[in-house]
């Protein structure tokens, strides 16, 4: 899923994971970085928090919930 160029909400990502389990797919690849977009917040690198195309980002908590 190219979430760096096309932001997908955590709720939609969870639905995708549920659908994947029904179809017996077991790998979700999230493309979280691009040359001009980085929607994953990393506390140790604060400049990434404003580096997404849409100004929407995934927090550490979002990723933990998804995992």
Confidence of residue 61 (pLDDT cuts 50, 70, 90): very high
Condensed to tens digits (0 to 9), the pLDDT of residues 1-25 reads 888 888 899 999 999 999 999 999 9
Condensed to tens digits (0 to 9), the pLDDT of residues 26-54 reads 999 988 887 778 888 888 887 766 677 77
CA distances (Å), 40 to each of 4, 50, 60, in order?
9, 9, 8
Q: What percent of the chain has pLDDT over 70?
A: 96
pLDDT computed for residue 12 by the predictor = 96
Distance in angstroms (rounded) separating the CA atoms of residues 3 and 16: 13
Rounded to two decimals, the pTM is 0.79
């Amino acid at each position: 899923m190219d979430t760096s160029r096309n932001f997908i909400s955590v709720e939609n990502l969870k639905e995708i994971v549920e659908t994947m389990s029904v179809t017996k797919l077991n790998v979700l690849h999230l493309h979280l970085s691009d040359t001009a977009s980085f929607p994953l917040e990393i506390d140790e690198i604060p400049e990434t928090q404003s580096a997404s195309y849409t100004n929407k980002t995934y927090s550490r908590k979002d990723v933990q919930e998804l995992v």
